[in-house]
């Protein structure tokens, strides 16, 4: 088969669409998927630079989510059959013509969603739902602050927050991205280049009950300042650095909590596992996608042969939502 390979670590040009060995037949509990499209994620960029190696035993090929059609099923798989239209959460291997994945990480393509757009769902949906709902307990009436409101995670989180009855505030660095966030349902728009998000949250909402943060160290103490009493700060990215000095007295005074989570390295099964998250998505989120309450936001579709052009789009001021690589016609 063909897949994206890395000549070395570094700039986008190290990625090449090249022939590689076919994957083995799916093992017990696995599904083989003929890939139609693959989502592009910040983790792929980090892996391309050599900063985010795959978990032990996972494919070295980039790609954490795909859509496609079931090609084969391994022993013990009863829920899927060849030909089923699916999307899947991966530990790696998505930038390829075929990938094997545990059956417990596979989801049906939601009703009304195209095959290519479906590739934009698994990673964002699993990240947002596991952090906002399963970890932070987001519910109706909560004030939710989302950093990076124009990203794939951000655009999905806005819609989930509104669907659950939360009041949603977002940060972004341009009016273009903020206006798109408003169209998706955000109530409060904060241009982080011009405004202090902690001041906005404490003034308009008496603080945020839940904060979804992609920045890490550089935002830590401002996030604590922005929290409401008993608030939850969930950190899912370290774009602003991995270290910071935490004012524990400020956190103590608000009875606040901080969770730092990672999706890729979660176990396949058991408490806190990918299987547990996928089950929740299918039961609680997928109906909201099928009825159009939550929709995948795709900013660009790029042929996988032009993969080097896709990664820089994540940092483009014109990109709102996900970037998707197309592998074959649906």
Domain ranges of the chain: 2-121+296-326, 136-260
pLDDT of residue 133: 98
Fold agreement (2-121+296-326, 136-260): no
Report the CATH fold assignment for 2-121+296-326. Quinone Oxidoreductase; Chain A, domain 1 (3.90.180)
Q: Give me the residues paired with residue 68 across strands.
A: 35, 86
- 218 by Cβ neighbours in 10 Å (0-12 / 13-18 / 19+) ranks as middle
What is the bridge-based pairing of β-strands 98-102 and 30-40?
antiparallel
Contact 310, 41 (CB under 8 A): no
What are the beta bridge partners of residue 306?
none
Residues of the chain with pLDDT under 70: none
Q: Helix axis angle, 152-163 relative to 175-184, nearest 10°? A: 30
Q: How far is CA 151 from CA 36, 43, 47, 173, in A?
A: 22, 13, 19, 11
Which strands, in side-by-side order, build the sheet including 188-191? 188-191, 167-172, 143-147, 208-213, 227-235, 257-260
What pLDDT is attached to residue 124? 98
Amino acid 330: pLDDT: 87
**3-class SS of residue 58:** coil
The CATH number fitting domain 136-260, selected from 3.40.640.10, 3.40.470.10, 3.40.50.720, 3.30.1330.200: 3.40.50.720
Size of the chain, expressed as the number of residues it contains: 330
């Amino acid at each position: 088969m063909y897949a994206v390979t890395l000549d070395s670590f570094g700039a986008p040009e190290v990625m090449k669409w090249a022939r590689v060995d076919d994957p083995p037949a799916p093992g017990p509990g696995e599904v083989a998927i003929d890939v139609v499209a693959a989502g592009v994620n910040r983790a792929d960029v980090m892996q391309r630079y050599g900063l985010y190696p795959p978990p032990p035993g996972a494919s070295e090929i980039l790609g954490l989510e795909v859509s496609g059609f079931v090609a084969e099923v391994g022993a013990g798989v009863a829920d899927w059959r060849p030909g089923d239209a699916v999307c899947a959460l991966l530990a790696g291997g998505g930038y390829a013509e075929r990938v094997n994945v545990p059956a417990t990480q596979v989801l049906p393509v939601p009703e009304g969603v195209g095959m290519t757009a479906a590739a934009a769902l698994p990673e964002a949906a699993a990240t947002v739902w596991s952090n906002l709902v399963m970890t932070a307990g987001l519910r109706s009436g909560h004030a939710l602050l989302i950093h990076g409101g124009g990203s794939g995670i951000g655009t999905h989180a806005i819609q989930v927050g509104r669907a659950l009855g939360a009041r949603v505030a977002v940060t972004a660095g341009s009016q273009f991205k903020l206006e798109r966030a408003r169209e998706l349902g955000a109530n409060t728009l904060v241009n982080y280049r011009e405004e202090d998000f902690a001041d906005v949250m404490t003034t308009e909402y008496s603080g945020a009950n839940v904060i979804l943060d992609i920045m890490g160290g550089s935002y830590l103490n401002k996030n604590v300042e922005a929290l409401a009493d008993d608030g939850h700060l969930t950190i899912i990215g370290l774009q602003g650095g991995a270290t910071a000095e935490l004012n524990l007295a400020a956190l103590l005074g608000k009875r606040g909590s901080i969770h730092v989570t990672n999706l890729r390295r979660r176990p396949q099964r058991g408490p806190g596992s990918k299987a547990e998250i996928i089950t929740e998505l299918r039961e609680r989120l997928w109906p909201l996608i099928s009825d159009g309450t939550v929709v995948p936001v795709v900013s660009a579709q790029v042929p996988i042969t032009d993969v080097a052009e896709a990664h820089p789009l994540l940092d483009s001021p014109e990109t709102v939502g996900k970037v998707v690589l197309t592998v074959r016609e649906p």
